[in-house]
């Protein structure tokens, strides 16, 4: 398993800003009616190689566990 290393932003006159985590909403952002939108699964795989990905959800449709099984995301209800 790869260890996410984040993204460093060099801002002139400031200390570098290191981004390591991304927080995303499930329904309405990554999914519609509890199902991932087309192309999202591939993008999540790419993001988890570089960042710790947190997905937050109310899990209205009760599908979050099934949808994210096998994905290296941190799921929070």
What would the pLDDT profile of 45-73 be if each residue is shown by its tens digit?
A: 999 999 999 999 999 899 999 999 999 99
pTM of the model: 0.86
- For 2-29, write each residue's pLDDT tens digit: 456 899 999 999 999 999 999 999 999 9
* Matching residue, tokens 């390591």: 20
pLDDT band for position 1 (cuts 50, 70, 90): very low
- pLDDT, position 8: 93
User: What's the Cα-to-Cα distance from 70 to each of 22, 36, 61, 75, rounded to whole Å?
Assistant: 18, 14, 19, 12
């Amino acid at each position: 398993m790869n260890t996410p290393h984040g993204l460093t932003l060099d801002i002139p006159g400031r200390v570098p800003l290191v981004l390591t985590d991304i927080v995303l909403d499930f329904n309405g952002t990554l999914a519609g009616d509890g199902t991932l939108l087309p192309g999202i699964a591939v993008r999540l795989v790419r993001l988890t190689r570089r960042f710790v990905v947190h997905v937050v959800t109310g899990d209205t449709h009760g599908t979050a566990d099934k949808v994210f099984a096998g994905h290296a995301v941190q799921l929070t209800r």
